[in-house]
Amino acid sequence: MSTILFSSLLLSVVLASAPPTLDTDEDLQKTGFGRPPPRHGLRLLKWYVKACLDNNMEALCDPVAGEYGFHPFGNEEDLLPRLPDGQPLGYFTIGNLHSPHAQDLPYDVRKDYDPNDPLSNEDRVLVKYNENTQHVSDIFISEHYNKTRTYIIGPKLLAFLRQLTHHFYIEM
Ligand SMILES: *[C@@H]1O[C@H](CO)[C@@H](O)[C@H](O)[C@H]1NC(C)=O
């Protein structure tokens, strides 16, 4: 009985496990995420962390209002850690270049989009967002919600990305 209980607890912990954390730019490069073109995810990530967050992680791009193609991410398959009940927290995803308002993304982010080439539209940035405080607490990157290709951006990597200068779009 207790073994069964323990096993199911263990199983739910494993199922709800968080994606691996990327701590450095080298970690990020090693994943191969979002590059080379027509992949757009690396440019999307770099734009997002600079343009859509203030220094206190307050959202400058409104996920709830659907700015830049943001929409809620249901997390039905536990791609990301489960959210606690009863809190104003939600996951939101950005990066589908076919979404309404995605045309508001910078040209450098969306320029390689080809509706006939899935590779040009497979990268996503996901955020954990508190609708009351309007703060983002976690940022994830994902190759079209593939669990083995989904990562958390750790605080050190986030700080690194946020201090990059404006020529970041063309460095890859
Ligand atoms: C998920 O990523 C892995 C590793 O790159 C790959 O082998 C697998 O085919 C991908 N799954 C899907 C559904 O694309």
Q: At 165, is the pLDDT very low, low, confident or very high (cuts 50, 70, 90)?
A: confident
Nearest to 167 by CA among 46, 31, 28: 46
> Which residue, judged by its Cα, is nearest atom 11 of ligand 1?
146
Portion of the chain with pLDDT greater than 70, in percent: 87
The residue whose CB lies within 8 Å of the most ligand 1 atoms, and thus the one to mutate among 79, 148, 151, is 148
Q: Residue 1: its pLDDT value, please? A: 47
> Which residue, judged by its Cα, is nearest atom 12 of ligand 1?
146
Instruction: Measure 26 CA to ligand 1 centroid, in angstroms.
Output: 22
Report yes or no: 135 and 129 within 8 Å, Cβ to Cβ. yes
- Closest ligand 1 atom to 147 CA: 1
Nearest to 133 by CA among 81, 57, 66: 57
Q: Residue 77: its pLDDT value, please? A: 94
Both tokens of residue 119? Answer: 């590779």
Burial of 156 from C-beta contacts in 10 A (0-12 / 13-18 / 19+) = middle
Out of 10-14, 53-57, 86-90, pick the least confident: 10-14
Instruction: Measure 38 CA to ligand 1 centroid, in angstroms.
Output: 18
pTM: 0.89
Lining residues, ligand 1, CB within 6 Å: 146, 148-149
Pairing of strands 21-22, 71-72: unpaired
Portion of the chain with pLDDT greater than 90, in percent: 84
Nearest to 140 by CA among 67, 64, 34: 34
Instruction: Measure 141 CA to ligand 1 centroid, in angstroms.
Output: 15
Q: At 13, is the pLDDT very low, low, confident or very high (cuts 50, 70, 90)?
A: low
